[in-house]
Structure 1
Amino acid sequence: MKNNTLGSLIWLRMMRFTHQSILLSNEFLKEYGLTTAQFDVLLQIQIAQPIMQSELAKKATVTEGGISRMLTRLEQENMITRTKQWKTNYIALTEKGQQLLDNAFDAQIQFQSAFFDDVLSRDEQKQLYALISRVEKNSRN
């Protein structure tokens, strides 16, 4: 570990936090019958609906193969609709899917915000957001 750079230690800490956050969120979202990945996919659909399946796969935190399987399950549960226009699938929320997302959204946001609200001041949160945003933008270059 003595050869690790500060950057690699930051990355490892971020990965551990992300992993722990997902585990805790999955447990929290069980009450709503959702996983963290399903919550993310439903939210991405809500933001951009109707959204092309290929575009959703790029935005979601699920692999392309995983997104197809998840969409099949969500469609079977009447949470989404898939409409094919020529070769393109468009995804939209059903009323049931929208209602589920509405029920879970505020609680999940409060749950996730508590990780930061409990230990960081508002100014520290703003600073952390700005720093993470810079690193994330740089990773796309």
Structure 2
Amino acid sequence: MNKEPYKTNNDRDKKYSVLLWHRIVRMYKNNTKETNHLLNKLNLSNAQFDVISRIAESKKLSQQELAEKLLVTKGNITQLLQKLEQMKLIKKEKVWKTNYISLTDEGKELYDEITPLLRDFQLNYFSKLTQEEKKQLLYLLRKAEV
């Protein structure tokens, strides 16, 4: 009887799982660093652009809906929203007890300016992969997502 049950294919599986995790983290860090560099040129953080893009996709969101899309609490985005409001990129409209958030014209213009730049950056970042490989990677990442 094997006293060390994890000394077979399971060890290799663990090794590959850890290597995958390291690779994904490294890619995420590198991509985020370059994305931040691009956004910083326009005086935006990645978090600020994430908020702007979520609002742009929906046109108008409550603060609660936005928080759910960002996977945070309403309280976590309060400062972020205040900063974007000061920058005149978003506007709030209170309807009874609910704060609704939408982009200002300046916010829409900035979103329209940044989006193609980020798309081009991501296209370049993943340019070593064929379209089929990108589809496979997306499939595998979705499959692995818990």
TM-score range for the pair, normalised by the shorter chain length: 0.7 to 0.9
Partners in 1 of 2:45 and 2:23 — Cα distance? 23
**How far has the Cα of 1:64 moved from its partner?**
4.8
Aligned mates of 1:122, 1:14 — CA distance in 2: 19
Cα separation, 1, equivalents of 2:18 and 2:97: 43
**What is residue 37 of structure 1 aligned with on the other side?**
47
Give 1:131's aligned amino acid: L
Deviation readout 1:76-111 (Å, 9 max, x if unpaired): 111001111222211100000000111111011111
Q: Distance in 2 between matches of 1:116 and 1:122?
A: 10
The aligned counterpart of 1:92 is: 102
- Relative CO higher for 1 or 2, CA cutoff 8 Å, sep ≥ 6? 1
The answer on whether the counterparts of 1:45 and 1:91 sit within 8 Å (CA) in structure 2 is yes
- How many residues are aligned here? 134
Partner SS, residue 126 of structure 2: helix
Q: Does 1:104 align with 2:114?
A: yes
Residues 63 and 109 (structure 1), Cα distance of their counterparts in 2 relative to 1, 3 Å cut: farther
- In the TM superposition, what are the counterparts of 1:1-141 in structure 2 within 5 Å? 4-60=14-70, 64-117=74-127, 119-136=128-145, 139=146
Give the AA of the match of 1:134.
K
Deviation of residue 65 (structure 1)? 4.2
2:138 and 2:34 map into 1 onto residues whose CA distance is 21
Alpha-carbon distance in 1 for matches of 2:143, 2:68: 20
Instruction: Provide the C-alpha distance between the structure 1 equivalents of 2:72 and 2:29, rounded to a whole number of angstroms.
Output: 14
Q: RMSD over aligned Cα, in angstroms? A: 1.8
Give, as a single letter, the amino acid of the residue that structure 2 aligns with 1:127. Q
Secondary structure at the counterpart of residue 32 of structure 1: coil
- Verify the 8 A CA contact 1:25 1:35 in the aligned structure 2: no
Q: Distance in 2 between matches of 1:112 and 1:63?
A: 28
> Which shifted more, 56-65 or 37-46?
56-65
Q: TM-score, normalised by structure 2?
A: 0.82
Residue identity opposite 2:136 in structure 1: Q
From the superposition, tell whether residues 67 and 21 of structure 1 become closer, same or farther in structure 2 (CA, over 3 Å): same
Q: Which has the larger radius of gyration?
A: 2
SS state of the match for residue 41, structure 2?
helix
Q: CA deviation at 1:41?
A: 1.0
Contact 2:84 2:90 in 1 (8 A): yes
